[in-house]
A = this chain, B = another copy of it.
Amino acid sequence: MIRKYVFGDPIETEAVIAQIPAEPGVFTEDHVRLTAGTEGMHAFSYGLADKDRIYGLGENIRGINKRGWRYISNCTDDPNHTETKNSLYGAHNFLIVDGADGRFALFIDAGQQVVFDCGYTDRQKLTITVSEGGFALYILESDSLLGLVHEFRSIIGRSYIPPKWAFGYGQSRWGYKCADDIRRVVRGHREKGVPLDSVYMDIDYMERFKDFTVNEERFPDFPAFVEEMKAEHIHLVPIIDAGVKIEEGYPVYEEGVKNGYFCKNADGSDFVGGVWPGRVHFPDVLNPKARRWFGHWYQVLLDAGIEGFWNDMNEPALFYSEAHLQEAAKMLKDTKMDNVDIWKFFTLKDILLNIANRPEDYKLFYHNVCGKMVPHDRVHNLYGYNMTRAAGEAFEELSPEKRILLFSRSSYVGMHRSGGIWMGDNQSWWSHLLLNLQMLPSLNMCGFLYTGADLGGFGADGTEDLLLRWLELGIFTPLMRNHSALGTREQEFYQFGADDSFRRIIGLRYALLPYLYSEFMKAALGGEMMFVPLAFVWPEDAMAAQTEDQLMVGESIMIAPVYRQNADGRYVYLPEEMKLYRMRSADDMDAEILPAGQHYVKAALDEVLVFVRANHLVPMAASAEYVDAVDTSHLRLLHFVKEEAAYELYDDDGISRSVTLEGHLTEIRAKAEGDGDLKICVSGALAPRCGLI
């Protein structure tokens, strides 16, 4: 059951696409209490019993259970996400209370800042505070945690579906400067037989960081280069940034100015911010005309043969606003630099340190929302969403048959229909490997299924063992990309020594692709999660609720990656008897049946632990060097069949936009015979040949 309440006069976010009439009259709810309405803010509170748990909030720090911290929905470009931060790149205002007094979920549909105090100020109290401005509150009820998610997903629309090749392994680095750099990456993989499907192009490829340009010196005849890569089964995926460089003669800039498509100052002039290209304007993607215009600029790269994009810097990040920079410059100039005492010194430092992403700057510019000038801070959390939507909507027109890869750094619920996200600029920290795992289900709740973290870590120096362990999680995430920042240790697999381990582990991803793609597509088409906390599957199992470092991946398997340096294994909790496949490659593994309960399970540095549920199957292919080479006509099964098991395998051509379950399902049935053998039956659309492992 879903109830909707409207407060004030909200700006329509289009996060929810179902038509739900608002409850009439004064707000009154058993579950949550409206506590205050001072200064235009609204606050809701809920008393927490000792064992109550809170789930959700999408992209965020801390655990699967979000209790005990204060989270602020305020899309922020801050790569140093230690456990003390409150905001990451996205705003996902969906939260589930799993309480002694029942289960319910809340969705705060608001483009402005929202604070979720989940027992931070007072351990026994959840308080949600919405900043000034109208908003809608949805209260969802269901008997089960999975039911709450399903209900939410049913009102926010279908998740974005990428082309199948985007499930392949991608290599990225801020710093690949020219075609030869990229050729070197491809060769590095192909020579060692390490699978690869894509190479990402960070800001280096552009001409002076201008969107929709390619530096012709470093990429002469770009379309030919794209073709050359395609012949090697490599897809190039360029980055697009939010800010449009101010430069005479640059058509994106000139068209935007002429048509009034950029964000404005209060006086109607175009707002000037500073990001990579220096001074920029920001496309007003909340204005449908401007959005359509900006989206159609992607055609420049589609025409060059590009089939995938990542949208970046779209919180939007703001290194400075021109107005404040001039102020700061004046302050610096006016400061007498002799006899600098410590307070003056810190003042000077703060002036420059606090110049980026200043809250005050986000109040300086305006969007045209249905003809009304709306200050940016009222819709801040919708910016990245609408930039990505610009591309998504354009692709529907420009590529009506074929799926285009698209994912974004910043996001809001609703964007999940247009593209995926990566988990932002993380660090080469073991703690971020665990954070990667813990974010997966909360993102899935909000419809973000195509997602993954920068494997090996973006910022900071990585190590070989960290990359290997991280890949052992990454082989399960739909977006599987190794990405790192300029100035950090290079972390393509071949920078280290264990080529064979990397080939085997990354190869496993390709072998598991039939299952992973099938589970992804069923989750997308059915409005379900692909990565599920144990607490959601075994809601009455108190130990399952405590388990924050294992996940179900689809219906058949549980994963438990090792995320500690120098560990030779880890503790694993099994809510029920399962079969453990300890996999070294698609062809090299051992299996054992483990009883329900706690175990310390060994996992060498190049071993992946896959736990198969009783009476479940996992269809696998042979490994391959790229997605197109995965042979889905011959499958092998991981299996734990005590009586009988059935698996519905989804597959399609991997590229057509129009997809339904119908016509794409194959039923694989396995039955235990008296002699311990399994009898396999396959029927349906594709009917591959199936054997056992």
Contact = CB atoms under 8 A, between A and B. Distances in A.
Interface of A: 53, 62-63, 65, 67-69, 80, 82-84, 120, 122-124, 274-279, 319-320, 325-326, 329-330, 332-333, 337-338, 340-342, 345, 348-349, 352-353, 355, 427-431, 459-461, 463-465, 496-498, 542-543, 546, 548, 564-569, 571, 573, 598-600
Contact of A69 (B122, B333, B463, B573): B463
A342 B245 CA distance: 12
Contact of A333 (B120, B337, B340, B460): B337
A463 B68 contact: yes
Nearest to A546: B568
B122 A278 contact: no
A564 to B, nearest CB: 7
B598 A464 contact: no
B342 A332 contact: no
4 A-B pairs with the lowest CB-CB distances in the bound complex, closest first: A329-B337, A278-B341, A84-B460, A571-B571
Among A68, A566, A599, which residue has the most Cβ atoms of chain B within 10 A? A566
Given A274-B340, A431-B83, A598 B571 contact: yes
Given A463-B68, A566-B65, A598-B598, A82 B429 contact: yes
A644 to B, nearest CB: 33
B123 A278 contact: no
Contacts of A275: 342
Given A68-B463, A342-B319, A83 B430 contact: yes
A565 B325 contact: no
Contacts of A465: 68, 123
B497 A123 contact: yes
A83 to B, nearest CB: 5
Nearest to A70: B461
A631 B465 CA distance: 52
Contacts of A333: 333, 337
Given A84-B460, A332-B332, 17 more contacts: A68-B565, A84-B428, A84-B459, A123-B497, A123-B498, A124-B497, A274-B345, A276-B342, A325-B345, A329-B337, A330-B337, A333-B337, A349-B352, A349-B353, A543-B600, A546-B568, A598-B599
Nearest to A496: B123
A648 to B, nearest CB: 35
29 contacts: A63-B565, A67-B565, A67-B566, A68-B565, A69-B463, A82-B82, A82-B427, A83-B431, A84-B429, A84-B459, A123-B464, A123-B465, A124-B497, A274-B340, A274-B341, A274-B342, A275-B342, A276-B342, A319-B342, A319-B345, A330-B337, A333-B337, A349-B353, A349-B355, A352-B352, A352-B353, A353-B353, A546-B568, A598-B599
A207 B18 CA distance: 66
A543 B427 CA distance: 29
Contact of A337 (B53, B83, B326, B546): B326
Contacts of A567: 546
Among A120, A337, A496, A565, which residue has the most Cβ atoms of chain B within 10 A? A565
A571 B325 CA distance: 53
Nearest to A350: B352
A348 B124 CA distance: 46
B68 A566 contact: yes
A671 to B, nearest CB: 36
B63 A278 contact: no
Contacts of A330: 337
A326 B336 CA distance: 11
A206 to B, nearest CB: 13
